[in-house]
């Protein structure tokens, strides 16, 4: 059930590992997109804007959870690459203890303070209550977010990128059915969309957990290996927390940009919501490439195969460049038809803004490809602090867009926020990669 990425053609390994991941991210975006389509079509533009107004705070918190779990999986890939299965099981056991602790604390804090945050973000009054209802349910589901991301991260760290996709596919169809049932039949409004997401993710997380227990013999943890270790938990937090903070710091910039967008009005928020869902769908290959490079980098560093890092990076960059062209063509020629999935054709001004946002973003998809590929490779190599610094650069760029561009040029400034963030991050990440690779080579020479 595992895959060794320390031997063989990097291009074939990256393609073989990333394609199943791509389907997983696509399905994840698919049921997020379906949420938005159903909300927009059945509940109207204001409720669509309400869900969209929570996007940045959602990313701030849920992104932290995902980043922490991704960081936890890196020591797992190191141990697997080194063949230390007892150490691997001890790490997984302590991942469980940490995930339980993080999920309890974060659920309490976020459900208590989320309304205050929405008010501080200057969420328009006509959508504030619906936005609060939606995000409160999402935050109530933080434990299942940890469950799915922790279990799927461990499975991927062992080289199996297919199984989490299968369970995600199942939960995607479940999510669609629950969306329709809760919103159309029970008329729960935006809370129905939130509950559908939480329940579906909980199901996929449970499936991953049961699969891990049954199928991976090297993960069958013995009683003594369940012991809580301050040292291991410290190491795991040293990997996980920086990666979580990278997401959150990046999201702070998104919160600032979202706040600036909120001042333009609910129509602008609705446009960004629809465009963001489409853009997220188009960006899925970059997410898959990033997760692939984290596992690839982790296993090869664990095995001491440092010469393969550059080979893998080159192969993945070629894939990213090719797809960037395809994504731009899709946005340019299909931006308007895609916008009408979420909005009535009579909303011509909003639809035009959706297309403009998509074109501005996809023109700069190659810098986005580099952000994902290089950042996750650096994380897999064991240097998560650099992810935080890259997030700081993204935050600065989005904050500048929110404070400077949006007040001056309006919605065009919103469209420029993401491209500026990606370029700022690349300006840091590319030199950082060569630095950390040199550090690893120096360490290897000193041991040898």
d(CA 53, CA 178): 22
Residue 3 is assigned to a structural domain of this protein: no
**Are the C-beta atoms of residues 276 and 55 closer than 8 Å to each other?**
yes
Sequential DSSP letters for 334-384:
HHHHHHTTTS-TT-HHHHHHHHHHHHHHHTTHHHHHHHHHHHHHHHHTT-T
Based on its alpha-carbon atoms, the radius of gyration of the chain, rounded to whole angstroms, reads: 21
**Are the C-beta atoms of residues 381 and 301 closer than 8 Å to each other?**
yes
Mean pLDDT of 275-291: 89
d(CA 370, CA 298): 18
Mean pLDDT of 429-445: 93
- Of the CA atoms within 13 Å of residue 344, those in its CB half-sphere come to 9
pLDDT-derived band at 448 (thresholds 50, 70, 90) equals low
Task: Note the pLDDT of residue 321.
Answer: 96
Mean pLDDT of 144-157: 90
Residue 2 is assigned to a structural domain of this protein: no
pLDDT-derived band at 372 (thresholds 50, 70, 90) equals very high
Mean pLDDT of 173-180: 88
* DSSP secondary structure code for residue 225 in this structure: G
Mean pLDDT of 16-35: 76
Token pair 């000193």 is found at 446
Mean pLDDT of 361-365: 97
Residue 402 is assigned to a structural domain of this protein: yes
**Are the C-beta atoms of residues 192 and 182 closer than 8 Å to each other?**
yes
- First and final C-alpha spacing in the chain: 33
Mean pLDDT of 425-434: 96
Task: Note the pLDDT of residue 368.
Answer: 96
The parent domain of residue 426 ranges over 11-447
pLDDT-derived band at 324 (thresholds 50, 70, 90) equals very high
CA 422 from chain centre, in angstroms, equals 15
Q: Which residues contact 295 (CB under 8 A, 6 or more apart)?
A: 5, 17, 73, 77, 156, 157, 159, 161, 380
H or E segment and range at residue 269: helix 266-282
For residue 424, pLDDT over 90 is answered with yes
CA–CA distances in Å: residue 159 to residues 2, 5, 358, 412: 5, 7, 34, 42
Residue 126 is assigned to a structural domain of this protein: yes
Q: Which two tokens stand for residue 20?
A: 């199943």
Domain count for the chain: 1
For residue 1, pLDDT over 60 is answered with no
Residue 129 is assigned to a structural domain of this protein: yes
Residue 159 is assigned to a structural domain of this protein: yes
Residue 49 is assigned to a structural domain of this protein: yes
**Are the C-beta atoms of residues 303 and 78 closer than 8 Å to each other?**
no
Residue 5 is assigned to a structural domain of this protein: no
Task: Note the pLDDT of residue 31.
Answer: 65
d(CA 34, CA 51): 13
């Amino acid at each position: 059930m595992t895959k060794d990425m320390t031997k063989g053609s990097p291009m074939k390994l990256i393609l073989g590992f990333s394609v199943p991941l791509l389907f997983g991210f696509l399905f994840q975006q698919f049921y997020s997109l379906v949420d938005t389509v159903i909300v927009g079509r059945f509940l109207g533009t204001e409720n669509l804007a309400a869900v969209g107004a929570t996007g940045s705070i959602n990313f701030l918190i849920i992104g932290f959870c995902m980043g922490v779990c991704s960081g936890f999986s890196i020591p797992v890939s190191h141990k697997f690459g080194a063949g230390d299965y007892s150490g691997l099981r001890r790490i997984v056991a302590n991942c469980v203890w940490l995930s339980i602790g993080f999920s309890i604390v974060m659920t309490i804090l976020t459900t208590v303070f989320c309304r205050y945050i929405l008010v501080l973000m200057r969420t328009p009054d006509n959508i504030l209550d619906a936005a609060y209802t939606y995000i409160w349910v999402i935050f109530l589901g933080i434990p299942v977010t940890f469950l799915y991301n922790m279990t799927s991260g461990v499975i991927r760290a062992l080289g199996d990128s297919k199984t989490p996709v299968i369970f995600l596919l199942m939960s995607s169809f479940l999510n669609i059915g629950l969306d329709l049932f809760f919103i159309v039949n029970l008329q729960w409004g935006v809370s129905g969309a939130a509950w559908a997401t939480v329940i579906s993710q909980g199901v996929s997380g449970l499936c991953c957990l049961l699969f891990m227990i049954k199928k991976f013999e090297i993960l069958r943890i013995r009683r003594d290996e369940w012991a809580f270790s301050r040292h291991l938990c410290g190491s795991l937090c040293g990997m996980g927390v920086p990666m979580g903070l990278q997401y959150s710091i990046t999201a702070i910039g998104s919160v600032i940009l979202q706040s600036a967008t909120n001042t333009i009005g609910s129509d602008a928020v609705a446009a960004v919501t629809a465009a963001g869902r489409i853009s997220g769908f188009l960006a899925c290959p970059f997410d898959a490439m990033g997760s692939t490079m984290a596992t690839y980098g982790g296993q090869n560093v664990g095995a001491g195969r440092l010469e393969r890092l550059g080979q893998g990076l080159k192969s993945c960059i070629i894939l990213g460049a090719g797809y960037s062209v395809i994504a731009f063509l899709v946005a340019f020629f299909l931006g308007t038809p895609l916008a009408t999935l979420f909005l009535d054709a009579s909303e011509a001004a909003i639809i035009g803004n959706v297309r403009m946002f998509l074109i501005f973003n996809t023109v700069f998809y190659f810098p986005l490809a580099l952000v994902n590929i290089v950042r996750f490779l650096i994380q897999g190599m064991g240097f998560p602090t650099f992810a935080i610094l890259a997030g700081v650069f993204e935050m600065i760029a989005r904050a500048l867009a929110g404070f400077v561009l949006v007040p001056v040029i309006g919605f065009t400034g919103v469209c420029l926020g993401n491209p500026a963030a990606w370029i700022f991050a690349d300006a840091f990440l590319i030199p950082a990669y060569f630095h950390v690779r040199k550090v690893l080579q120096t360490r290897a020479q000193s041991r040898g």
